[in-house]
Structure 1
Amino acid sequence: VTLPAVIYGDEAPLLETETGDVLKGVPTSRGYYTGPVTVVQGIKDFGKVNQGDVLVIPYSDVGWAPLFTKAGAVVA
């Protein structure tokens, strides 16, 4: 078996624009969280995330893991 030198994943999905001030989703853990929101669309935005922020990302995979330790909550 020969593996390629680089494995490319799927392209990031396009973000849909919604109006309003309520985010809805499927919870992956129990509880509620309130905090400042930081929208991160890619690695260029990683520096914007502060401890305790609600992290809003277009999708989730292992590439986002460094931010999960800072986030108070994640919306993907």
Structure 2
Amino acid sequence: MAFFKKYNGTTNARLVRMERLIWTLIYGGLLAIVLGYFIDQQEAQDAALFYNLGGLAVAGGVVMVFIRSRLREE
């Protein structure tokens, strides 16, 4: 009587690449935002670039999570 289904991943190579890209975008974007926060004291213009690119990467990753949730494994 398991409450959660066990997810062992997919065997479809296309979906595996998509899942890897999703998490790379999300974590890379969050890292860029944190780096922008630490750069903010010295170079405000460079920090804005990190904030914008990081935010776009995170938003792209979240959109891809939604798209991936709609795909079927065949």
More helix by share: 2
**Pairwise TM-score range, normalised by the shorter structure:** under 0.3
More strand by share: 1
Task: Return the index of the structure with the highest Cα Rg.
Answer: 2
Structure with larger RCO (C-alpha < 8 A, sep 6+):
2
TM-score in terms of structure 1 length: 0.24
TM-score in terms of structure 2 length: 0.24
